[in-house]
Structure 1
Amino acid sequence: MTPRGLIFDKDGTLFDFHATWGGWSRGLIEAEADGDAMRAQAIAAALGYDLDAGRFAADSLVIASTAGEIADAMLPHLPGQDRAALIARMNARAAEAPQVPAVPLAPLFADLAARGLALGLVTNDSEAPARAHLGEAGVAAAFGFVAGADSGFGAKPAPGQLLACARAMRLAPGDCAMIGDSLHDLHAARAAGMIAIGVLTGMAPRAALEPHADIVLPDIGALSGWLDARNITKA
């Protein structure tokens, strides 16, 4: 397992999932419920979010789904709402969500680039919010390829985004590793023929990830040591 390219998930991987999206989900639910407490509870239940505790369920739809899938779960509780308009509101709110990095990102990605590794990012978030989040974190320039669920390559757990990233980096899929916090990420890696690396900064526990991963790390900061052990050192 010696990759030449690393492909990252975003939410729960670059950014701590609950710290970033807990407040966003509450704000979205309350805004769309428009003061109707029963409607807010119904939307929250559909998304797997506990409004009272402010916590996601382990199988929350928000964890690995696309904006369209989340909207589809909300729409039965929002009669008369337009799907495209709801997704647009979600994307606008997502682009402004304060991101909480899982580890200090700038030094990590400087280290990875110095090792000569090609870097990409694929997310089930939409592309515009993803690029906004990378820019706010100061690491947008680190990635040679960025794709969201609306970028034309499909969404995880299908492998389309990952394969498009490998092509853009001019690497064979087997020369790439996918790093993510969810089973969607690991299943996409397997389907693409890539190394599958799980991290524990999302909602999935180690026991859920390990059967589907080549290795599970505590967070992406541990990649440096993992690469050192494989003699992928700085040029």
Structure 2
Amino acid sequence: MQIKGILFDKDGTLFDFRATWDVWAGRMIHELAGGDSVLSGKVATAVGYDLSTNGFRDDSPFIAGSNGEVAEALVRVLPQYSTGQLEHFLSVRAMEATLAPAVDLAPYLTGLAARGLALGVMTNDSEYSARNHLSEVGVEGHFHFIAGFDSGFGAKPSPRPLLAFADHLGLEPDTVVMVGDSTHDLLAGRRAGMRTIGVLTGTAPASELAPLADAVLPDIGHIPAWLDAAAS
């Protein structure tokens, strides 16, 4: 097996999902509800957030969906806003999240690049948010390809944005590994004809990811050892 490229999901993969987004979401829900406790409950339910535990439920559209999908869920309980307004709100507020990288990203990505690997990011967040987050932790320049749901290739679980990465780098899909924390990520990878790795820095358990993954790892830091084992 020769791996030439790795395409990463962002939230739950490069960044630990709960450490980054659970607290942020609580503030976002309070703001959208204007401090109204009853409305806060409705907003929380719409986005799959548990106010009693201050964390997202496993079935939340926020985990694997696009900002557009989350906005569509929100507009049902916040009809005073348009879907476009809510989508913009989510993108802007996402810039305020306190990011929690799954590993020390700069040296980690440098190490992967030293292996001759092409690196990319495909997220169901917006491309603007993705570039902002990667820039904030100083690693945007490590990637040859960065795409969001709004970059013109569609959103996962469609294989189109993954194939766009392969096309951009001139790689055969079966030489690329898709790495993600959700079944959306892994299903997209399978559909694209790529290898798939699931990581446990999101909300999905190993049992949910395993049927779609060549390997399920604790976090992306274990990928170099997996590459070494796969090559031997």
2:137 aligns with: 137
1:12 aligns with: 12
Q: Indicate if the aligned counterparts of 1:176 and 1:194 stay in contact, CA closer than 8 A.
A: yes
Count of aligned residue pairs for this structure pair: 232
* Stretch moving more, 105-114 or 43-52: 43-52
Q: Indicate if the aligned counterparts of 2:119 and 2:143 stay in contact, CA closer than 8 A.
A: yes
1:109 aligns with: 109
Between the aligned partners of 2:185 and 2:79, the Cα distance in structure 1 is 33
Q: Matched residue of 1:35: which SS? A: coil
Between the aligned partners of 1:62 and 1:83, the Cα distance in structure 2 is 15
2:148 aligns with: 148
Following superposition, the deviation at residue 96 of structure 1 comes to 2.3
Structure 1: stretches of 5+ with no match in the other structure: none
Between the aligned partners of 1:178 and 1:171, the Cα distance in structure 2 is 13
1:169 aligns with: 169
Following superposition, the deviation at residue 231 of structure 1 comes to 4.2
- Using structure 1 for the length normalisation, give the TM-score: 0.96
RMSD: 1.1
* Stretch moving more, 74-83 or 138-147: 74-83
Deviations 1:111-158 (A, max 9, x none): 000000000100000010100000011111110000000111000001
Between the aligned partners of 2:192 and 2:207, the Cα distance in structure 1 is 23
1:28 aligns with: 28
Following superposition, the deviation at residue 170 of structure 1 comes to 0.9
Q: Indicate if the aligned counterparts of 2:74 and 2:86 stay in contact, CA closer than 8 A.
A: no
Structure 1's consecutive aligned runs of 4 or more residues displaced over 3 angstroms after TM superposition are none
Deviations 1:34-58 (A, max 9, x none): 1211111011011111112102111
Structure 2: stretches of 5+ with no match in the other structure: none
Q: Matched residue of 2:62: which SS? A: coil
Q: Matched residue of 2:19: which SS? A: helix
Q: Matched residue of 1:177: which SS? A: strand
Between the aligned partners of 2:23 and 2:4, the Cα distance in structure 1 is 36
Between the aligned partners of 2:79 and 2:113, the Cα distance in structure 1 is 49
**Alignment partner of 1:193 is 2:193:** yes
The share of aligned pairs that are identical, in percent, is 53
Letter in 1 for 2:64: A
Q: Matched residue of 1:10: which SS? A: coil
Q: Indicate if the aligned counterparts of 2:182 and 2:209 stay in contact, CA closer than 8 A.
A: yes
| Equivalence map 1:1-235=2 (5 Å) | 1-231=1-231
